[in-house]
Structures are given as C-alpha cells and as structure tokens.
Structure 1
Amino acid sequence: MKKHKIIPVFIFFVVVLAAAGGIWFRCKDTGPAGKRVSDQKTFPQFHSETDQDKDGIDDQTDILKGALDYVATKPKYKSQYYNGGYPDDGYGVCTDVVAFAMKAAGYDLMRLVAKDVEQHTDAYDIDQPDPNIDYRRVKNLQVYFGRHAQSLATDVSDVEEWQGGDIVIFRKHIGIVSDKRNKNGVPYVIHHYSPWQRSYEQDILERRSDIVGHYRWNFGNESGEKAKQNKTTQNSR
C-alpha cells in the first residue's frame, strides 16, 4: 500500500519541478550584459516622425521610455480584472507593459482597442466585448496591431529591423523591444512574464520559437488598414 501512495506523490513533484524549470528557463537572463544603442554605432535607433503627446519626444522613443519607466516600478505579476481597465495597485501582466508604454506616448490603448472592437467586431474572436479587459488580452492585441501598426520581420537574425520601441508578440505573450542588444546585435525584450521573473528586460528573442508578430506603431496610424510590410529607413538622429 505504501508504494502505491508514494509513486503518485513522486510523480506529482516531478511534474511540478519540470513546470517550474520550464518557467525559469524562459524567464532567466542568458549571456553577457547587453549594450544600449547609444553604445553601438552600428545599430542607430529608429525615430518616428510623430509626437502624439507634444512632449518633444517622438512616439517610438516615448513608447520605449514608457515601457522602461513602467517596469522600473517593479509591478508584481497577477492577472485580475479592474474596473476602469488600467491596474492601479502595483500589479500587472504582460499586456500592461505595452499599454503603459503607449500611454506614455499619448495613446490610450484601452480606448483604441474598444473602438476597433466596436466597429469591426467580426475581426475579433470576442463573444461579449468588455473595454476593461479586451485590450489586456494578447490575442486581441495581435489583431489590433495587425490592423493598425506596421508589420515587420519576425526573423531575429534581421537585427536592424528590430528597434527599441517596437512591439513583439509571442503565441501567448507580448512585450516591447528594448534598445539594449546582446553581442549578436539582437535586442532584449521589456516584458512581464511571471511572478518568478528575475528581470523585466531580458535577452530572450533568440531562444523563442513562438514569435507570431513584430510591429511598429508608426506615425500614429489609426486608419484601420494594415500598414504595408516594408523595411523602414533607419534614422540616426
């Protein structure tokens, strides 16, 4: 009898350890410390021509800075519903990194997604629209940015195509591309993945095989038409 009791318990602990190991592997930093674009002359940072909030800083830079400022508050990971949409208690999830980054540039992602869902419901797989939560779901943001942002390469070896302030979407995750790069020139990602995450800015792109989208919020495009996929001229100003 004792053996029959011990075996299920042993299997349970093996499964738990394997799951924890998988989360740790995805969240851990690997390789040497990266460098900011300002330290790498070969990778000039892209700057958009739009300054939505009129603060003297272009949108691309505002989005990048907004993401860094948000994670600097060290939000704790917890998925829950908020009346009013935006978390205000020090907790958050991956989509909040993007929402607060765009908010820093003068864009209310909650309002933008709600408007698009209302006008183009057939484009979204949503049974009952709810502005408070719709913009905080990765699958909805994939649809939204696919419709309203510039779609770029998902091949991380095309390093110059990846710029700080871009948006990267994984199968069940999302983040903002950093201006910090590893020794191969591949940028880090600013993201919030789990309660056990060691750092909010991590060198993970080369280790992920589930990248499903790479977008740039270019010129505040809200036309409702997917931007043409093309190479963007790098601006080193």
Structure 2
Amino acid sequence: MKILKHLGLVTLLLSAPSVYADNSELLVNAAMERLKHQVRYDGAYVKLDYPMGDVPADTGVCTDVVIRSYRQLGIDFQQLVHEDIKANFNQYPSKRNWGLTRPDKNIDHRRVPNLQAFFKRHGKSIEVTKNGNDYKAGDLVTWMVNGSLPHIGIVVKKRSADGKRPMIVHNIGRGPELEDMLFDYPITGHYRY
C-alpha cells in the first residue's frame, strides 16, 4: 500500500484489489445522480487544476461519468492515475497510443485505455462473458465502439426490459444516460474498483 499526500489530500493507492469495491451501492447512486446533469459531449483538451481538477460541468465524455461518480465517493482518479503513470509510465499506453513521453495530469485520467491499465493494476479484472448476470452493480465495463473508439460505463442495479442484462450509465455522445447497451459493442474489459 502506498499513501500519497498532496495539498492536504490523502489518497490510498493500492496494489491489491480495491477496498472501494464494498462501496458499489454508493457508486451506483452517484452514477444515477449523473443522469440529472445536462452535459454536452466534448472531449477537448482542457488545462485542469490538480488535484480534483475537472472540465466544465456542462461538458464531458464517457470517462467523465466515471470520474465524477467516483468523486462523489471521495476518489480522485485524476490524482490516482497521474501518480501511478508517473511512477510506472511504461505500464500505460500513453507512448504507444498518443506518442507521449511523460504523464499529463490534464488528460491521462480521461482516456479509457489509461483507466483500463489503472483498473488492471489496482482494481480487479473480471472475465468478460456474454452472461448479463456476471456483471454486478458498480462494475465498470469498457467497449470498442465502431472498431476504434474506446468507451466506458458503470453497471447499475436496473435491468433490461427482459431482465437479462443490467443497465449501464454512460455518455456515448448524448450526455449521461441510462441504457440497455451492455452487449451492443465488443467488450474490452470488465473491472471492479
């Protein structure tokens, strides 16, 4: 376990599965609360405060749904991801995917492949299946949309009309929404944090 201190904030960075997994109900509630916000889909690069920096509240992408939901639990992925990339740059796809040579606290946490690397390193990777019952409320799922666009969402308690799949809170271009879309795109990751 490593404790990071920055500007009076103390954040736990764990090398084992997250202690936050027990907070799945709180995460689901925070994700459902995101549905009340009007957000224009905008992935533009923005210089952010650090830690706890955020893009303007009326803008965001899929990762911002996850980031803002976890912030309701007191978890700052901007700081966690930045500190881990700083210490383990080669464990992240920043150079391969975007040609970066160093971490960038303004954008690293807002990129799905970086969140996937972080969850693999500090959360729990779960087997990807085609069985909706294997996806529990509070799980995080990543997809590849149209063969090239990484995407992420949060599994919630509500179920599809036929009861076979959990619904997902995500932002795929229309702002935060609740949707039956778990198996609409190829799943690239399933995590608990």
Give the TM bin, normalised by the shorter chain: 0.7 to 0.9
Counterpart contact for 1:179–1:187, Cα < 8 Å = yes
Shift of 1:79: 1.3
Query: Unpaired segments of 5 or more residues in structure 2?
Result: 1-17, 95-99, 145-149
State the SS of the aligned residue for 1:73: coil
- Identity across the alignment (%): 32
Give 1:91's match in structure 2, choosing from 53, 59, 64. Answer: 59
Corresponding position of 1:180: 158
**TM superposition shift of 1:50:** 5.2
Q: TM-score, normalised by structure 2?
A: 0.76
Deviations along 1:76-122, one digit per CA (max 9) or x if unpaired, are 11112232241234111000011011111121010000011011111
SS at match of 1:131: coil
Matches within 5 A, 1:25-40: none
Match of 1:59 among 5, 8, 23: 23
Change over 3 Å in CA distance of 1:156–1:180 after alignment to 2: farther
> How far apart are the structure 2 equivalents of 1:104 and 1:89?
14
5 Å-filtered alignment, 1:72-111, equals 72-82=36-46, 83-84=48-49, 85-111=53-79
- Out of 121, 130, 135, which is 1:147 matched to? 121
Following superposition, the deviation at residue 170 of structure 1 comes to 1.0
Deviation at 1:166, TM superposition (A): 0.8
Aligned to 1:125: 93
CA distance 1:51–1:178, change in 2 (3 Å): closer
Task: Name the SS for the 1:66 alignment partner.
Answer: helix
- Supply the distance in 2 between the matched residues of 1:74 and 1:68 (Cα, whole angstroms): 13
Structure of larger gyration radius: 1
Counterpart for residue 165 of structure 1: 138
Tell me how far 1:62 sits from its aligned partner.
1.5
Question: Cα RMSD between the aligned structures?
Answer: 2.0
* Residues 129, 169 of structure 1: alpha-carbon distance in 2 compared, 3 angstrom cutoff: same
Residues 1:214 and 2:187 are matched in the alignment: no
Q: Structure 2: how far apart are the matches of 1:206 and 1:50? A: 28
* Consecutive unaligned residues in structure 1, runs of 5 or more: 1-48, 53-57, 218-237
Which whole-Å CA distance do the structure 1 matches of 2:45 and 2:180 have between them?
Answer: 30
Q: Name the amino acid aligned to 2:66.
A: V
Deviating beyond 3 angstroms after TM superposition, the runs of 4 or more aligned structure 1 residues are 49-52
The structure richer in strand per residue is: 2
Q: 1:179 to 1:69 in 2, by over 3 A?
A: same
Normalised TM-score (structure 1): 0.63
Within the alignment, does 1:200 sit opposite 2:181 as a pair?
no
Aligned residue pairs total 160
2:111 alignment partner AA: R
Higher helix proportion: 1
Distance 2:42 2:20 in 1: 32
